[in-house]
Structure 1
Amino acid sequence: MIMPRGQELMMPVNPLFIALTIVVALALNMLPWGGWVWMPDWLLLVLAFWGVHQSGKVGMGIGFFLGLSMDVHQSALLGQHALSYVLLMFACRQASRRVLWFNVLIQAMYMAPVFVMTHAVEVVVRMVAGGIFPGPWVLIAPLIEALLWPVASWILLAPQRRPPDRDSNRPL
């Protein structure tokens, strides 16, 4: 495959780094934010990132397991987050080949509807089960997640940008 112009050659990702970032995102989701509806879903953002960049390593099974853990943590309907995370991982896997050709700003615009869809699935499942509509503020979280996409890309791709060995005679 020919690399897009201006894209740098990166090191392979360490599976322990993927696991660490997912655990940190899960911990951020479990912090008591006071029930703010507009707060971004950190785990959703990290899962979407790894689903786009490493769809072979982070798949729907991991999304399902982490969704169940979020359902248990939030005392939500069992399967609410699991369904939305599985759909997120499916959408990321389908889009990964196309999205990676664009720069991070266009990637963020491409991922915004995916984030909206994921939150919409959560709200619809909650309302079908007899819950109440959280209000229009629920639309802010996917927009914040789309705005955080370039920051997440910069942070999560940083370990892959380092050279394999430092050598002053080798430009790559």
Structure 2
Amino acid sequence: MWIKSGLLPLLLSYVVALVLTVMPIPAMFEPWRPDWISLVLIYWLIAIPHRVGFGTVLILGLLTDILMGTTFGIYATALVVMAYPALRHFQRIRNYSLTQQLLIVGVLILIKRALVYELEHVLNDAVFNWPYFYPVLSSAIIWPWVFLVMRRYRRRYLIR
């Protein structure tokens, strides 16, 4: 039942994104780690907006807060703010070329990262660091491959 409805493969993609977010990588590449949760969420928001909405985004944001050990609600708030334009304009974004989507994804992740930084700064006195924004660039660059892999995954498991 869960596989036929596509719910299990959908949940599995979220788990993979959460694991990739905290999976150890060499220290020199750590600042460049793509924002996997945002990439997966943006894909699902533009691919199947009738099944993935603000509730899903909020739950994944709260799980990310727990996983990253931040103040509860910071990632949830930032992901909801990032998801709004993607959900509002999903039909346009779908029809853009991968290059145009790459730019939009970069802007959405920049908004999310800036909001997370600002909330961390206000609540926890976080200090500004340029490398904090490197994932914006790496996520935008990797978007075409994420898009193609996720589309193949969606079609393979008939997620509609």
Q: CA deviation at 1:82?
A: 0.5
Identity %: 24
Deviations 1:35-63 (A, max 9, x none): 93432221111011111111111111111
Partners of 1:37 and 1:134 within 8 A in 2: no
Please give the alpha-carbon distance, in whole angstroms, between the structure 1 residues aligned to 2:88 and 2:71.
Answer: 27
* 1:25 aligns with one of 17, 42, 53: 17
1:99 aligns with 2:93: yes
TM-score, length of structure 2 as denominator length: 0.84
TM-score, length of structure 1 as denominator length: 0.79
2:77 alignment partner in structure 1: 83
1:168 alignment partner in structure 2: none
1:59 aligns with 2:53: yes
Please give the alpha-carbon distance, in whole angstroms, between the structure 1 residues aligned to 2:32 and 2:71.
Answer: 20
Deviations 1:55-77 (A, max 9, x none): 11111111111111111122101
2:32 alignment partner in structure 1: 38
Structure 1 gaps of 5+ residues are 1-12, 165-172
SS of the equivalent of 2:30 reads: coil
Q: CA deviation at 1:142?
A: 1.0
Describe how 1:105-144 pairs up with structure 2 within 5 A: 105-144=99-138
2:44 alignment partner in structure 1: 50
Change in 2 beyond 3 A, CA 1:123/1:160: closer
Q: Which moved more, 1:39-48 or 1:129-138?
A: 129-138
Q: What is the identity, as a one-letter code, of the residue corresponding to 1:21?
A: S
SS of the equivalent of 2:124 reads: coil
Question: How many residues were matched structurally?
Answer: 151
Q: Which has the higher contact order (CA 8 A, sep 6+)?
A: 2
Query: What is the alpha-carbon root mean square deviation over aligned residues?
Result: 2.1
Change in 2 beyond 3 A, CA 1:126/1:155: same
